[in-house]
Amino acid sequence: MLLWNLSIRSRLCLCHFPVFDLKGFSGIGRGREKKVALMDPSKQCLICVPLTAKTVKKMLFQLELAKESGADVAELRVDLISGFDAAADLPVLLKDKPLPVIVTPRAKWEGGEYKGSEESRQDILRMAYDLGADYIDVELKVAGGFIQELRSRGKDSTTKIIVSNHNWDFTPSDEEIHATIEQMWATGGDIVKYVTTAQDITDVAQVFHFLSESKGPTIGLAMGPAGMISRLLAPKFGGYLTFGALCKGQESAPGQPTVQDLIEVYRVKSMDRDTMVYGVIGKPVYHSKGPVLHNKGFEELNLNKVYVPLLVDDFNKFMNVFNRPDFHGFSVTIPYKEDALKLCDRVENAAKIIGAVNTVVRETTGEYQGYNTDCEGALSAIEKGLRHSGLANNDETPLKGKLFVVIGAGGAGKALAYGAKERHARVVVANRNYERAKALAESVGGKAIELDQLSDFRPETGMILANSTSIGMEPEVTRSPIHKDALSAYALVFDAVYTPKQTQLLKDAAEMGAVTVSGEEMFYGQAFAQFRYFTDLPAPESAMRDVISKPAAAKKGKLRAPVSAQCSIGTYSRGRMISTRLGFDKLLQRGLYPNSAQFGMLMDKSQVQLVNLAFRC
């Protein structure tokens, strides 16, 4: 049975894009109507850390850290250990292990690093089985004969056998995946692991599809940046296990999140089939703070919802394939705000006038409703700035009659100009492309000026200035769109740029005596408004702000004060290299001793251990 959003499908002629199982776990297959046994929904998806150390000693340390990180299972990638001697090393690795382990001597022909013969590789698996490893991972290519032989020896073992298959290039068709998975079950393994590579985010729908209709414990993942949501949402679709790296830089496959993110940001341990999905659609998107912010809001209000980054190449294709009731709302960022406007079945008036939609909510009818919260976010931040600084009283329209100068005429510029006009300000638009400035100024009954006239534009004092260009954004942090002296004519200066928080424009404005409002306030404002559209509830603002501004302090049970991990071995440059690899911001300063380095970071216990581990190994 094929289930389509017909209105969208006919409008876009996307006849070849399949919509995956709208009922989540009903076992409906594309082109197949097959009812299959469902996974026990009470079984929680496990979090597994792949351990990639090059020595047994380091792997033992990593095992401790994996336990500390909150993972349920660790995968021992013994093929990565140089000179691995199974007879001597396996008993050491498996003795007193702090958490269940998968023993994986991954073959070269399956993307691994094992250098010995196939016979010696299979001996490692036999030995792990006999020593009572919790799981062994056997590739499909050899699984049939190997498992038969293992079982025929009649030895009792509690070891579960994972039969795995990896496609490092693409995601095959539904039919091919189905046929391969049938072959995998036929080998007699206990768990099936089918891993593909996502070339496009819509490939992940196929992974969710086979997970949903699995007849036994199944691990299903799509590698690569486009496959990230397969890892984040595996628990929702019945995945037996998902992988998370110990820390940034320790990933065993492309697109792997960290265990800490899986647990703390995406709350995968409490995710289930009823979890509603939200996300930010963009390209690029992995820099977005949206997931941290919105997931904190969901957690705070105890909502069974998750917000994920959605790296999308084709907006219409994504919206069509994922048009299902449990994918309920989306933030839309560069470059898709205009595509979102075109796609939505209904669009609020402000978004229509601005010409951009940054928020999409799926109605129960399957239709999409579009909003623009950038406007509300920016203007309420500016109004708050005026009130807090005493430049306006609690008047409902503190911008009324004020001269409001907008720099830029793109999406954010349009939102600012429209919002200012709605609040009865007199609008002036300055833009690099003068024609665009003119068009925008005309649409809001304002006036246009050339960008290079801006520094001499001082018709009155007490004006409001709002930059909506990317001038001053990282890495060009010393740039400003206007000469510092000209800022004396402004009472308040707002900058939509929020990386860095204090832009050159805001620094200059503060020095010239103006009140300044950071783009971060617009970011919060537009996100809080989105949160309300997503949930019909007011956003828990202070918790959401804290998770961005004080990330470590906001986490319960974490150290609140800066911790110095004193690394007494190694030089400063080595420390810097290690801190970068571990994903810490930076090595702040030289340590107290000539040959040491100090991390002045907010770190939790496992991060401190990790630093120490890195220096010891």
Q: How far is the CB of 378 from ligand NAP (least distance, A)?
A: 7
Structure tokens given for 517:
């409002």
Q: How far is the CB of 529 from ligand NAP (least distance, A)?
A: 11
> ω before 335 within 30° of 0 (cis)?
yes
Q: Which of 21, 79, 89, 193 is catalytic?
A: 193
Q: Which of 125, 285, 496, 603 binds ligand NAP (CB under 6 A)?
A: 496
Q: How far is the CB of 413 from ligand NAP (least distance, A)?
A: 5
> ω before 325 within 30° of 0 (cis)?
no
In sequence order, which residues have a C-beta less than 8 Å from that of residue 466 and are 6 or more positions away? 378, 382, 404, 405, 406, 407, 416, 420, 493, 494, 495, 496
Q: How far is the CB of 381 from ligand NAP (least distance, A)?
A: 9
* In the complex, residue closest to ligand NAP by CB: 410
Please indicate whether residue 352 is annotated as part of the active site: no
Q: For ligand NAP, give the closer residue by CB, 224 or 385.
A: 385
Sheet with strand 241-243: strands edge to edge: 218-223, 191-197, 160-166, 135-139, 101-104, 73-77, 46-51, 241-243
Angstrom distance (rounded) from CA 105 to CA 120 = 10
Q: Which of 89, 137, 174, 374 is catalytic?
A: 374
Q: Considering only residues 472-491, where is the footprint of ligand NAP by CB under 6 A? A: 473
Angle (CA) 316 322 323, round 5°: 85
Q: How far is the CB of 291 from ligand NAP (least distance, A)?
A: 15
Angstrom distance (rounded) from CA 185 to CA 144 = 10
Q: Which of 75, 339, 374, 383 binds ligand NAP (CB under 6 A)?
A: 374
Please indicate whether residue 58 is annotated as part of the active site: no
Q: For ligand NAP, give the closer residue by CB, 377 or 575.
A: 377
Q: For ligand NAP, give the closer residue by CB, 91 or 335.
A: 335
Angstrom distance (rounded) from CA 131 to CA 128 = 5
- Secondary structure in 3-state letters for 580-605: HHCCCCCCCEECCCCCCEECEECCCH
Q: Does 469 bind ligand NAP (CB under 6 A)?
A: yes
> ω before 18 within 30° of 0 (cis)?
no
Q: Which of 329, 411, 419, 570 binds ligand NAP (CB under 6 A)?
A: 411
Q: Which of 526, 535, 564, 598 binds ligand NAP (CB under 6 A)?
A: 526
Q: For ligand NAP, give the closer residue by CB, 51 or 381.
A: 381
Pick the stretch among 403-411, 506-514, 594-602, 605-613 that binds ligand NAP (CB under 6 A).
403-411
Q: Considering only residues 326-355, where is the footprint of ligand NAP by CB under 6 A? A: 334
Pick the stretch among 249-257, 307-315, 404-412, 418-426 that binds ligand NAP (CB under 6 A).
404-412
Q: Which of 412, 464, 597, 601 binds ligand NAP (CB under 6 A)?
A: 412
Question: Pick from 240, 304, 193, 277: which is nearest to 41 by CA?
Answer: 240
211-233 burial: b if 16+ Cβ within 10 Å, else e = bbbbeebbbbbbbbebbbbbbbb
Q: Which of 166, 296, 305, 328 is catalytic?
A: 166
Pick the stretch among 41-49, 168-176, 468-476, 570-578 that binds ligand NAP (CB under 6 A).
468-476
Pick the stretch among 171-179, 465-473, 509-517, 583-591 that binds ligand NAP (CB under 6 A).
465-473
Angstrom distance (rounded) from CA 525 to CA 379 = 9
**410: phi > 0 → left, psi -120 to 50 → alpha, else beta; which?**
beta
Please indicate whether residue 294 is annotated as part of the active site: no
Q: Considering only residues 551-610, where is the footprint of ligand NAP by CB under 6 A? A: none
Q: Which of 468, 503, 516, 606 binds ligand NAP (CB under 6 A)?
A: 468
Q: How far is the CB of 261 from ligand NAP (least distance, A)?
A: 22
What's the Cα-to-Cα distance from 391 to each of 388, 514, 515, rounded to whole Å? 8, 11, 9
- Give the up-direction half-sphere exposure of residue 53: CA atoms within 13 A in the CB hemisphere: 24
Q: Does 385 bind ligand NAP (CB under 6 A)?
A: no
Q: Which of 84, 266, 498, 531 binds ligand NAP (CB under 6 A)?
A: 498
DSSP label of 309: E
Q: Considering only residues 244-303, where is the footprint of ligand NAP by CB under 6 A? A: none
Q: Considering only residues 24-63, where is the footprint of ligand NAP by CB under 6 A? A: none
Q: How far is the CB of 377 from ligand NAP (least distance, A)?
A: 6
Q: Which of 209, 236, 328, 337 is catalytic?
A: 337
Say what the alpha-carbon torsion angle 167, 170, 175, 180 is, to the nearest 10 degrees. 0
Give me the 429-458 binding string for ligand NAP, x by CB under 6 A, dash otherwise. Answer: --xxx--x----------------------
Pick the stretch among 22-30, 236-244, 275-283, 464-472 that binds ligand NAP (CB under 6 A).
464-472
Q: Does 471 bind ligand NAP (CB under 6 A)?
A: yes
Residue type for position 447: K
Sheet with strand 403-407: strands edge to edge: 447-450, 426-431, 403-407, 463-467, 490-495, 515-517
C-alpha 522: how far from chain center:
21
Question: Pick from 525, 217, 510: which is nearest to 373 by CA?
Answer: 525
Say what the alpha-carbon torsion angle 9, 15, 21, 27 is, to the nearest 10 degrees. 150
Q: How far is the CB of 180 from ligand NAP (least distance, A)?
A: 43
Structure tokens given for 176:
């091919």
The DSSP-derived string for 389-432 is TTSS-S-S-TTTT-EEEEE--SHHHHHHHHHHHHTTPEEEEEES
Q: How far is the CB of 524 from ligand NAP (least distance, A)?
A: 8
Please indicate whether residue 400 is annotated as part of the active site: no
Q: Which residues are catalytic?
A: 166, 193, 337, 374
Q: Which residues would be at the binding site for ligand NAP (CB under 6 A)?
A: 334, 374, 377, 408-413, 431-433, 436, 468-471, 473, 496-498, 519, 522-523, 526
